[in-house]
Amino acid sequence: MSADSKAAASTEPAGVSPQVEPDEHPRSSPMSIHDMTVAYHRRPVLWDIDYNTPPGNLIAIVGPNGAGKSTLIKAVLNLVPTVSGQVSFFGEPYKKQRRRVGYVPQRSSVDWDFPVNALEVVTMGLYRSIGWFRPVTKKHRQAAMAALDRVGMADYAKRQISQLSGGQQQRVFLARALAQEADLYLMDEPFAGVDAATERAIVAVLRELKDAGRTAMVVHHDLQTVQEYFDEVVLLNMRLIASGPVGDVFTEENLRATYGGKLALLDRVGHRMTLSGGRQ
């Protein structure tokens, strides 16, 4: 992290924002996390995460189950409370940069029996730019339709969402985020349990995003495709094990450190903290 942030600091003028120190939160980085710790029910699941996202890259977040990959994304988006640390997006707090950050939640996070069709779900990605009390117009529906078309789902626009396959539902979620036209996308397991057509469609979208100079951070569990799909990798297991270009970081040694049993100690300490009332 340090080399990265120093380079950024030297090119950026100082004093970007009064609350954040410029060399910790460079404006050029789409997302920078400084010293973030997250606890669920007073049990720490992420310890002292420091990470600066390089712009214009496809980044995989990799780690075993329970490593805190989804929690990392939810924590930077303020969906779960953090115990400590700061996060900034494009050099500013999240609240000021919401529109530039797109979020693709896990498919299982919603009730797919909800009475809406695919197009209406995608339109929800535009509700914020439509604003309070204003109706959805034809223009917005066209934009949503274009987003659906980008993921190859235009033919299913009028389908009720419970009648879509798992992969199609995932593509609808992706389209909803695309409709927002963000600069940074955070995706939570978009490849989990999808068919081959969906996987191809998502990869194509990721490449498109990269070509347009945008950044995507993707929670990914398939180690075999990391090198093929992504430029950068973040290895995570309760703490940040390693991060950087796939070629440098995605090594056997680092993977063993991520998936191996070396962190049993951290887990045990976490458990003791739960019992004794925690760090909160």
Partner 1 sequence: MSERSRATGCRDRSLKPFGWTGWKARAFSGQRSSRSRLFSCALLCVLLIGIANPMSVNAAPALEHEGASLSRADIEEESKPVRSSFVRILTLQDHTTRTVLLGTMLLGMSSGIVGTFMLLRRQALVGDVVSHSALPGVAIAFLIGEMVSPGEGRSLTWLLVGAAVAGLLAVASTSLITKFSRIKPDAALATVLGVFFGFGAVLFKVVQEIPSGNRAGLQHFILGSASTMTSGDVSLILKASAVVLIACFLVFKELSILCFDEDFASTQGWPVTWMDFALMGLVVAVTVIGLQSVGILMVALLITPPTAARFWTESLSRMTLIAAGIGGASALAGTAASATIPNLAGGPTIVLAGSMFFLISLLFGTKSGLIGRWVQRSRTEHRVGRDHLLRAMFEVIEARLGSEETLELDQLKTEAVSLGELTRRRSWSGLRVSRLLNRAFTDGDVSLDPTGAWRLSATGARVACRAVRNHRLWEIFLIRSADIAPSHVDRDADFIEHVLTPEVIEELEGLLARKDPRVIPPSPHPIPPVEAR
**Mask of contacts with partner 1, 19-58, x by CB under 8 A?**
----------------------------------------
Which parts of 159-188 interact with partner 1 (CB under 8 A)? 160, 176, 180
Among residues 43, 98, 100, 210, which is the contact residue for partner 1, using CB under 8 A?
Answer: 98
Which residue stretch of 21-29, 118-126, 221-229, 269-277 sits at the interface with partner 1 (rule: CB under 8 A)? 118-126
Minimum distance from CB of 101 to partner 1 (Å)?
A: 7
Minimum distance from CB of 239 to partner 1 (Å)?
A: 25
The torsion region of residue 86 among left (phi > 0), alpha (psi -120 to 50) and beta comes to: beta
**Contact between 261 and partner 1 per CB under 8 A:** no
Answer whether 171's CB lies under 8 Å from 202's CB: yes
Sheet holding 239-245, edge to edge: 101-104, 184-187, 215-219, 58-62, 232-237, 239-245
What token pair was written down for 106?
């896990």
Select 15 or 133, whichever has its Cβ closest to partner 1: 133
Q: Give how far Cα 9 sits from Cα of 21, 36, 80, 153, 237, Å.
A: 10, 20, 29, 42, 28
Structure letter (DSSP) for residue 173: H
**Contact between 110 and partner 1 per CB under 8 A:** yes
Minimum distance from CB of 163 to partner 1 (Å)?
A: 9
Q: Give how far Cα 199 sits from Cα of 133, 170, 196, 204, Å.
A: 37, 10, 5, 9
91: nearest Cα among 16, 38, 166: 16
Structure letter (DSSP) for residue 256: H
Among residues 2, 132, 196, 211, which is the contact residue for partner 1, using CB under 8 A?
Answer: 132
Number of residues that bind partner 1 (CB under 8 A): 44
Among residues 15, 18, 135, 277, which is the contact residue for partner 1, using CB under 8 A?
Answer: 135
Which parts of 67-96 interact with partner 1 (CB under 8 A)? 74, 77-79, 95
What SS3 string covers 79-110? Answer: CCCEEEEEEEECCECHHHHHHHEEEECCHHHC
**Helix 166-178 × helix 138-150 angle, to 10°:** 130
Select 21 or 114, whichever has its Cβ closest to partner 1: 114
Binding site for partner 1 (CB under 8 A): 74, 77-79, 95, 98-99, 101, 103, 105, 109-111, 114-117, 119-121, 124-125, 127-128, 130, 132-136, 138, 141-142, 145-146, 148-149, 154-155, 157-158, 160, 176, 180
